[in-house]
Structure 1
């Protein structure tokens, strides 16, 4: 039996702990300094997602806890950032609704699968979707006046639109791959 307090699981816990900080920072008036700090915290949290997965695989430290909590930490991180970007006028609410609905749906499927003894880890399509979300949200949080990046907002939105398509696609993919679980539990 693998231990619970592994480096990857601690990084997942750290990602959970950074979420309230990001929310508070995005609630403040978005001066260049505050926006840069919010972006830095979000970026660090997103990097822990990559790092915990890398460490878990490299040191054979994958745990059931990590397989369940790592995707949840990712979903909460992106959801919190997306929701905080709505009142800032940086993202339309309907996009957040699609992304968040997909995340709730997938969490439900994972819970249903877990009730049958099946642990559903993130697949590659979900990981690609997450990367588009991380980069897109990162572009939208980053202070618009700090670097002369032409079309920074538009780049962020294009990445988010791609993530919306990938979100729907991966939800359909998960549903198809786990269709037997729906039959077993009905």
Structure 2
């Protein structure tokens, strides 16, 4: 081996790493506060916090993955008012009121609650510690609606809402793939 080949393998001759424990703590706190932030946002935060910080996004990403124990996951957002005690009390009161009428809401009815457009749209990914679920409670800016809607099932198409956490299989299951290959010459 030549001198050049041995010098990069020798850890003694390597330059000191620019990211250390203080950077790691800052990045972990930054990702806890802003899980939907991107690597560029983390670099900007490090540049503002520490003087003479000049690393590229790739180095910061590798540090976050290897030293910080973070991974990017698909985020499941839950509105803050979803499990609010006042909203649950409103739902109970609505059901009690409807149960006193002659309407049979237990059969042939569909309830639509929490329907609306959330204006806080961001990409669905976020940085979370490895081994933790990617759930986040967010404040909602949509109009508060405490009136559940009820429809008859006569003209409703069967639909199902899936939670991304239930189907966590990373393997793609593809049926009937037709592969084209070149004919032998």
Higher helix share: 1
Give the TM-score taking structure 1 as reference length: 0.27
Provide TM-score, normalisation by structure 2.
Answer: 0.27
The structure that is strand-richer by fraction is: 2
Larger Rg: 2
